[in-house]
Chain A
Amino acid sequence: MTDENPYQPWIAKIISIKEEASGERAIKTFRLEFQDEEVKKKFTFLPGQCIMVSVFGTGESMFAISSSPTQKDYIEVSVMRYGKLTKALHLKEEGELVGARGPYGNSFKLEEWKGKNILFLGGGIGQAPLRSVIDYCKDNRKDYGKIDIVYGARTSRDLCYKDEFAEMSKKDDLSIHLSIDVEEEGWDQFVGFVPDNLKRLNPSPENTIAITCGPPIMIKFVIQNLLELGFKEDQVYTTLEMRMKCGIGICGRCNIGNLYVCKDGPVFSYDQIKDIQGDM
């Protein structure tokens, strides 16, 4: 990602790794620090933007940055072990080097949303981009109204950022509503899907922006329920995903209709995508 070659990543060190979820679909949060002081200093991004992470010898993949830009010393990506690249990344240890280039894509309109309530609706690893926004709002708490975080996963083992939620719930400046899909011993919060938890909570659409990320089926029913609750189409935001290679709008593969998710997205309002014609 030098000025001359946008495909060339910078070298970044994995300074810490945190296991968020275990099992077959394990999730780890990698904290990365650019090795070049100049790059470290000038790298800036906005919540919602993505970064291309390289494992040399395996390839690279695009991830949402899951840390907030208010944290300037490092960036984090939360990665589910799934395909070739994520499996290779999960084998990496603290202190090892990877490549990173970016940031790419558009972002959540946090400047525009100052003074509004924000309702987060996340599912599984879909919480990663939302975490960036949540941390940003926490660090600029007075700029935003009521903050509600609705987050769910299949089992308690699959929930990310558990200790962070525990920490947040000690304060009363935001509300957290966790859920798991099926009953578990010791679970005292909601059991059921995120769209159902949303219905139960029955939030007011007034002066509120809803942001949802998660599996496509969850997003579909979350949006349906939001509209039923009286949210307008331009109050609802989500992110779209496609396979990517270049990340800079050239290689052609991440199009949905005439939009390229890598540069026109990943953040879209429901208003923008409800009538989009394209394979998703």
Chain B
Amino acid sequence: MEQLTLPKEKLPELLGEIGSKFELVGPIEENGFLAFRKINDPKEINLDILLSRVPPKSLIFQQTETLFTYAKGKDSKVQTPKIEETKRVIFGIRSCDARGFDIIDPVFMGKKEGDYTDPFYTKRRNRSILIGLSCNEPDANCFCTSFDDSPANTKHVDILFTDIGDKYYVEVVTEKGEDLIKKVSKIFSKATEKEGNIRKETEKAAIDAISRKMNTEGVVEKLDKMFEHEFWVETARSCIGCGICTYLCPCCHCFDIQDESTLKLGGRVRVWDSCMYEEYTHHASGHNPRPSRMNRVRNRVYHKFNYFPKNDGIFGCTGCGRCIDYCPVNIDIIEVIDKVKEVNV
């Protein structure tokens, strides 16, 4: 792995250069929140706020997506929209959000022979080059370290930037990352051993600054034993079913499909959906397998901490803390899992 450094004041120059060669996306402040947007002027980029409100999963798994268009009537014709395949650089993604892609990749891209592949997700994922940015000062509800992750993990990105004072320490992780660096390499210097040590100390300090921990040991087996427990009634009591925990989760991947059409033309559109809504599982017959909040809250917890581990060998949680930060009734997933462990069965 190539280790480089970049003086901080050169960042706009670098991003300008990247932006001239690729589509560049990065975090900007918008209506008081951080959001990943196409960058036209590198000065727009905001690296002071830690996490975007909507995770950058929206860049790959778009909130709305036209799956195909059609003409109605006698000459019914269907057509798939063209999906852009030129390279796109996503700058400033955090470890937890980058790891979110690793968790949902098998869902969209298939994991075994015969699985279907979602072409929209797959093409966007393949066209994206992820430049991560280490978190030096984690937020109050960060807990990525509970999943063997680190605020400065190189594993989920193509290139990782770490702020080491007056410079960025730059680690080039993948081939995709190398290709990108080659195109802009004149701007970097080789990193020294001393700078490497500062980078390590920075990571250690960030890990130490994470105060929250989710204890997931044995949770899969415990959940197997308490599906019918009244605990779920209690846990769901304060939930108002707003769905924000699912919309802002980097690992939630559920969607709805709807037709939008005029008399002659139309399209089938996919939109993010949430298992927290009553309609989500409502059959045409009127029967609903998950009629109450209890069923829906339970399903969400099980999906992340029992079904995901069983189906994909991984928890469906990155520890980003968004569902805790944004829940209007203060449901705290770390506390829920702590209480799961305390339940007597």
Contact = CB atoms under 8 A, between A and B. Distances in A.
- Please give me the 5 A-B residue pairs with the lowest Cβ-Cβ distance, nearest first: A83-B284, A252-B254, A258-B307, A248-B116, A277-B227
* Most B Cβ at <10 Å: residue of A2, A11, A60, A250: A250
A2 B67 CA distance: 12
B106 to A, nearest CB: 10
Given A8-B78, A8-B80, A250 B253 contact: yes
B118 to A, nearest CB: 6
A97 interface: yes
A111 B260 CA distance: 43
Given A8-B67, A9-B78, A57 B273 contact: no
A243 B311 CA distance: 20
Interface stretch (B34-42, B68-76, B197-205, B325-333): B68-76
Nearest to A81: B284
A37 interface: no
B21 interface: no
Q: Secondary structure at chain B's binding surface: helix, strand, loop or mixed? A: mixed
Interface of B: 67-68, 70, 72-74, 76-78, 80, 107-108, 115-119, 224, 227-228, 253-259, 261, 266, 268, 270, 273, 275, 280-285, 287, 289-290, 295, 299, 302-303, 306-307, 310-311
A7 B254 contact: no
A199 interface: no
Contacts of A277: 224, 227-228
Nearest to B75: A97
A189 interface: no
Contact of B76 (A7, A11, A60, A242): A11
Nearest to B292: A279
Interface string A232-264: 000000000111011011111101111000000
A251 B257 contact: yes
B274 to A, nearest CB: 10
B50 to A, nearest CB: 28
Contact of B268 (A2, A7, A248): A7
11 contacts: A7-B257, A8-B80, A9-B78, A11-B78, A97-B74, A242-B281, A250-B116, A251-B255, A253-B254, A277-B224, A279-B289
Contacts of B284: 61, 82-86
A56 B116 contact: no
A37 B256 CA distance: 31
Given A99-B78, A253-B273, A253-B281, A4 B119 contact: yes
Contacts of B280: 243, 253
A59 interface: yes
Given A7-B257, A58-B259, A280-B289, A250 B224 contact: no
A83 B279 CA distance: 13
Nearest to B279: A243
Nearest to A258: B307
A256 B259 contact: no
A249 B285 contact: no
A5 B254 contact: no
* Most A Cβ at <10 Å: residue of B70, B266, B275: B70
A170 B228 CA distance: 51
A171 B76 CA distance: 43
A54 B119 CA distance: 20
Nearest to B228: A277
A230 interface: no
Contacts of B117: 6
A3 to B, nearest CB: 9
A243 B281 contact: yes
B314 to A, nearest CB: 13
A27 B284 CA distance: 15
Contacts of B116: 6, 248-250
Contact of B80 (A2, A86, A99): A2
Contacts of B270: 7
A7 to B, nearest CB: 4
Nearest to A10: B78
A64 B118 CA distance: 23
Contacts of B80: 2, 4-5, 8
Given A250-B253, A255-B303, A241 B283 contact: yes
Given A5-B119, A241-B283, A253 B306 contact: no
A243 B279 CA distance: 10
A57 B72 contact: yes
Contacts of A242: 281, 283, 289
Contact of B307 (A7, A216, A249, A257): A257
Interface string A181-193: 0000000000000
Nearest to B291: A279
